[in-house]
């Protein structure tokens, strides 16, 4: 039997990546080029040639699944015991080291690794002890800041020297230091510590570092583009002795900067090591020629990349299909019709995916697919109607329209906080059971007694009065306005508005999208029946379902048919991202588009809507700038799509020469638009001249309104910015 049989199935470049064993190697593995096979085969090759013993090889991945698959494949190929192989995630490998030398970090060897919930509880305790307002400084925000330092490889003493953009009024370094002290007292570490503390050990104990450097003759790294700075420091420490490090990744698929990933690690790999060998895997085994050409043409517009061009032997396949629709509902309808056509052609629903940029987009697709009876799943997140804030809001709507809904009342009884705890609810429960009445009726009875304290009775009384008042409005105003009133007067919207946590803005956006959803129903009862069908739908459907996924969650997945919905400027690339980091974010958004396109194996459908009803407001859009960057020869669309001056793609020169504000282009005809009697200004929440407040830029005045966006001159900046409606408040 051929001893190197495992090389037979590899192409020339893959073989080169496997057989180049000496010195640092960077394998730029494009989407669908077989990177997992290369990594596994390289590990097999090292063991088979007896260049290292199992414990002298370190292989790190980002998921346990990837690590287990690598172990299984190596075992199948070589039929050897792999128990002593160092194959695992970054965190599991770091944990091994930390367990062995825990005392150097003032921890016992049996220390506990705490999860996010425990981290938040610990931070809350610290904030309370420091008399810091938890509403102004939520524990989740403090945790994010601490994690930012850990991702950079910085202990508290090093964090003091680092530049970090956060609001004045809080000493984050002090809180970070206190947090680490509390962890030591508890004999605990968090996930960030599993890399940070080994780095600390290596920095302070050269003998320990030397022993690991000598041990690991070969190091293999998967998904290198997703590493943070701390992980990169850890890898460079361990590889310094032998320099036989092979990192496999794709700079064009670096899309997780918000999670700490730093694309500079892969971009500067050649600067970090001497005599680096760069091997490009460009032959794709997943997608058609047109899909690859479209993706390659798009990503070439990025400046910060190492460069490669995907290709396939097969020249067959359909062009990427580009469609534009009147609005979001029209988009959802037509995409669902195409899905029905695919289903009739015996295409499995599992092989169909709808990829979106923002989570609020799921709602229209969910409603439409349910209506036509096509099962679906939301990957990487909750279905729209399953999200906490949506369930809470629906509970409010139910209790107003259905008196006997005890579950709904229980859910919102103390949400937002009314001083009504579990003990109070138990008393009401007992009365309801004994008298065989609803919780709402029991609540009305209990306030007539002295069984509860005065504060509790007054809170319940006000809550009941609110419910009764809302009930009187059912036949007087439309269900949409009533829903807004309920959420405002209950204090529920205000609760999230005042919440400073990272997830709060997203929850508010979803509530606005819920209000938008009500427009599709003639009354509230019809809507609530629809919700019941949605929930029942999930229980009854089998495994073959259409996949609805955000593009961030789609990385690593593949489908025969991919629908890329919502390629509207401001939605994709996302306006908030552009405002925060400018061109750096633009390039990451373009990488995200590249990831989206390369998920498709046979067919890719991209769509744009001229307008969208987002958070209660019509937003008039231009097509995403990414559409103009797609090679026309690989695109199938109406010829007019690229020629309609009023509503579609602007020319390449204008895009490349825009100034600092990437949306300035939208306002090139602002004078004529805002003076026009047919302007859409009347449909917007704010008007020209209104004074507003923006969390980042402060107070300002609206100068112009065009295509759902506001040009505002801000007092503090003495300059104009262009922002979306949901980021400003009236004053």
DSSP 282-317: -B-SSS-HHHHHHHHHHHTT-SS------B-S---S
Most confidently modeled range among 222-226, 383-387, 572-576: 222-226
Q: What is the mean pLDDT of residues 500-529?
A: 83
Answer yes or no: are the C-beta atoms of 572 and 589 closer than 8 Å.
Answer: yes
User: pLDDT, tens digit, for every residue of 163-214?
Assistant: 665 556 688 999 999 999 999 998 999 999 999 999 999 999 999 999 999 9
pLDDT of residue 71: 84
Handedness of CA 542, 546, 549, 551 (dihedral sign): positive
Selection from 596, 548, 562 nearest residue 383 by Cα:
548
pLDDT of residue 616: 66
694 band by pLDDT with thresholds 50, 70 and 90: confident
How far lies 198's CA from each of 93, 94, 147, 237, 470, in Å? 10, 6, 16, 10, 59
Q: What is the mean pLDDT of residues 270-294?
A: 95
Selection from 52, 45, 111 nearest residue 78 by Cα:
45
219 band by pLDDT with thresholds 50, 70 and 90: very high
User: pLDDT, tens digit, for every residue of 272-281?
Assistant: 998 999 999 9
295 band by pLDDT with thresholds 50, 70 and 90: very high
d(CA 485, CA 515): 11
Contacts for 113 with CB less than 8 Å, ≥ 6 apart: 95, 188, 189, 190, 191, 194
Cα-atom radius of gyration of the chain, to the nearest Å? 29
What sections of 59-114 are H helices per DSSP?
Answer: 64-78, 90-100
DSSP reduced 3-state for 359: helix
Selection from 265, 268, 285, 275 nearest residue 223 by Cα:
265
Selection from 83, 5, 17, 10 nearest residue 48 by Cα:
5
Q: How many CA atoms lie within 13 A of 540 on its CB side?
A: 10
d(CA 664, CA 682): 22
pLDDT of residue 673: 34
d(CA 140, CA 117): 10
Q: Which two tokens stand for residue 375?
A: 């099962």
pLDDT of residue 542: 54
Q: What is the mean pLDDT of residues 386-414?
A: 85
Answer yes or no: are the C-beta atoms of 334 and 326 closer than 8 Å.
Answer: no
264 band by pLDDT with thresholds 50, 70 and 90: very high
Contacts for 628 with CB less than 8 Å, ≥ 6 apart: 642, 649, 650, 651, 652, 655
User: pLDDT, tens digit, for every residue of 25-74?
Assistant: 999 999 999 998 999 999 999 999 999 998 999 999 988 888 888 888 88
Degrees to nearest 5, angle at CA 354 with 350 and 356: 145
More confident residue, 374 or 76: 374
Q: Which two tokens stand for residue 725?
A: 């409606």
* Single pTM value for the model: 0.74
pLDDT of residue 141: 87
d(CA 524, CA 615): 18
Most confidently modeled range among 480-484, 549-553, 563-567, 686-690: 563-567
What DSSP element (H or E) covers 636?
A: strand 635-636
pLDDT of residue 668: 34
Catalytic residue IDs: 35-36, 222-223, 253, 599
Q: What is the mean pLDDT of residues 74-91?
A: 82
Q: Which two tokens stand for residue 496?
A: 């999230």
Answer yes or no: are the C-beta atoms of 51 and 217 closer than 8 Å.
Answer: yes
Burial class (CB in 10 A: 0-12, 13-18, 19+), 689: exposed
Q: What is the mean pLDDT of residues 395-416?
A: 83
User: pLDDT, tens digit, for every residue of 641-661?
Assistant: 544 433 333 333 333 343 333
Helical pair 524-540 and 504-518, crossing angle rounded to 10 deg: 110
How far lies 261's CA from each of 58, 209, 549, 594, 649, in Å? 21, 25, 21, 18, 32
pLDDT of residue 256: 92
d(CA 627, CA 642): 9
Q: Provide the β-strand partners of residue 374.
A: none
pLDDT of residue 693: 81
Q: Which of 39-48, 146-155, 494-503 has the lowest mean pLDDT?
A: 494-503
Q: Which two tokens stand for residue 527?
A: 């809507």
Q: What is the mean pLDDT of residues 236-249?
A: 96
Selection from 486, 448, 446, 493 nearest residue 467 by Cα:
486
441 pLDDT higher than 60: yes
Q: Which two tokens stand for residue 114?
A: 């705490």
User: pLDDT, tens digit, for every residue of 699-728?
Assistant: 788 877 765 677 788 776 666 777 777 678
Answer yes or no: are the C-beta atoms of 552 and 569 closer than 8 Å.
Answer: no
DSSP reduced 3-state for 580: helix
DSSP reduced 3-state for 268: coil
Q: Which two tokens stand for residue 658?
A: 């825009």
Name the CA dihedral angle for 562, 615, 730, 723, rounded to a multiple of 10 degrees.
20
Q: Which two tokens stand for residue 611?
A: 């307008």
pLDDT of residue 107: 93
Q: Which of 242-246, 392-396, 517-521, 592-596 has the lowest mean pLDDT?
A: 517-521
Q: What is the mean pLDDT of residues 571-597?
A: 91
DSSP 623: B
pLDDT of residue 680: 36
Handedness of CA 694, 696, 701, 707 (dihedral sign): negative
């Amino acid at each position: 039997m051929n001893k190197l049989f495992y090389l037979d199935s590899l192409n020339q470049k893959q073989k080169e990546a496997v057989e180049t064993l000496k010195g640092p190697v960077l394998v730029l593995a494009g989407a669908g080029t077989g990177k997992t096979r290369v990594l596994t085969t390289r590990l097999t090759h090292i063991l088979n040639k007896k260049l290292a013993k199992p414990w002298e090889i370190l292989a790190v991945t980002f998921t346990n699944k990837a690590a287990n698959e690598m172990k299984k494949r190596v075992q199948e190929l070589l039929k050897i015991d792999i128990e002593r192989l160092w194959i695992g995630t970054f965190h599991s490998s770091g944990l091994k080291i930390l367990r062995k030398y825990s005392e150097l970090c003032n921890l016992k060897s049996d220390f506990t690794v705490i999860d996010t919930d425990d981290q938040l509880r610990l931070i809350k305790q610290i904030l309370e002890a420091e008399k810091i307002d938890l509403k102004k400084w939520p524990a989740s925000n403090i945790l994010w800041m601490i994690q930012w330092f850990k991702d950079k490889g910085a202990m508290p003493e090093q964090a003091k020297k680092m530049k970090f953009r956060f609001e004045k009024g809080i000493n984050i370094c002090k809180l970070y230091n206190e947090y680490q002290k509390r962890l030591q007292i508890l004999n605990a570490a968090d996930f960030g510590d599993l890399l940070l503390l080994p780095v600390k050990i290596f920095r302070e104990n050269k003998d320990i570092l030397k022993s690991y450097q000598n041990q690991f003759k070969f190091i293999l790294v998967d998904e290198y583009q997703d590493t943070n700075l701390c992980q990169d420091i850890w890898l460079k420490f361990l590889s310094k002795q032998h320099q036989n490090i092979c990192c496999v990744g794709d700079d064009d698929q670096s899309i997780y900067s918000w999670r700490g990933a730093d694309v500079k690690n892969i971009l500067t790999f050649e600067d970090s090591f001497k005599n680096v060998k760069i091997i490009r895997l460009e032959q794709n085994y997943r997608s058609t020629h047109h899909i690859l050409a479209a993706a390659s043409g798009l990503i070439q517009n990025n400046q910060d990349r190492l460069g490669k061009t995907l290709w396939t032997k097969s020249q067959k396949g359909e062009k990427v299909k580009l469609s534009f629709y009147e609005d979001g509902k029209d988009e959802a309808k037509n995409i669902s019709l195409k899905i029905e056509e695919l289903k009739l052609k015996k295409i499995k629903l599992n092989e169909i995916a709808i990829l979106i940029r923002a989570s609020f987009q799921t709602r229209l697709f969910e409603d439409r697919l349910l209506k036509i009876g096509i099962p679906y799943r939301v990957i990487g997140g909750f279905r729209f109607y399953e999200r906490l804030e949506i369930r809470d809001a629906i509970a409010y709507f139910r209790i107003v329209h259905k008196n006997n809904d005890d579950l709904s009342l229980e859910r919102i009884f103390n949400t937002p906080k009314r001083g009504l705890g579990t003990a109070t609810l138990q008393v009401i429960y007992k009365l309801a059971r004994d008298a065989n009445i609803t919780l709402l009726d029991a609540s009305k009875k209990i306030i007539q007694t002295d069984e509860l304290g005065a504060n509790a009775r007054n809170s319940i009384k006000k809550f009941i009065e609110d419910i009764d008042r809302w009930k009187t409005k059912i036949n007087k105003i439309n269900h949409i306005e009533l829903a807004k009133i309920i959420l405002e007067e209950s204090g529920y919207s205000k609760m999230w508005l005042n919440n400073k946590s990272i997830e709060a803005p997203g929850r508010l956006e979803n509530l606005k999208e819920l209000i938008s959803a009500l427009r599709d129903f003639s009354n509230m009862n019809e809507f609530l029946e629809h919700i019941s069908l949605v929930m029942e739908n999930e229980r009854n459907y089998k495994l073959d379902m259409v996949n609805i996924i955000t593009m961030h969650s789609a990385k690593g997945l593949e489908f025969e048919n991919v629908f890329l919905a919502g390629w509207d400027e401001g939605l994709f690339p996302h306006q908030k991202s552009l405002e925060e980091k400018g061109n750096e974010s633009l390039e990451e958004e373009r990488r995200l588009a590249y990831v989206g396109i390369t998920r498709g194996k046979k067919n890719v459908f991209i769509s744009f809507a001229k307008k969208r009803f987002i958070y209660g407001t019509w937003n008039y859009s231009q097509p995403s700038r990414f559409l103009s960057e797609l090679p026309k020869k690989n695109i199938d669309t109406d010829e007019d799509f690229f020629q309609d001056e009023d509503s579609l793609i602007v020319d390449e020169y204008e895009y490349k020469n825009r100034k600092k504000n990437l949306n300035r282009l939208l306002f090139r005809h602002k004078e004529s638009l805002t003076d026009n009697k047919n302007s859409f200004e009347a449909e917007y929440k704010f008007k020209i001249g209104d004074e507003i407040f923006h969390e980042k830029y402060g107070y300002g005045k609206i100068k112009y309104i065009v295509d759902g966006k506001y040009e505002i001159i801000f007092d503090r900046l003495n300059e104009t910015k262009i922002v979306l409606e949901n980021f400003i408040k009236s004053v």
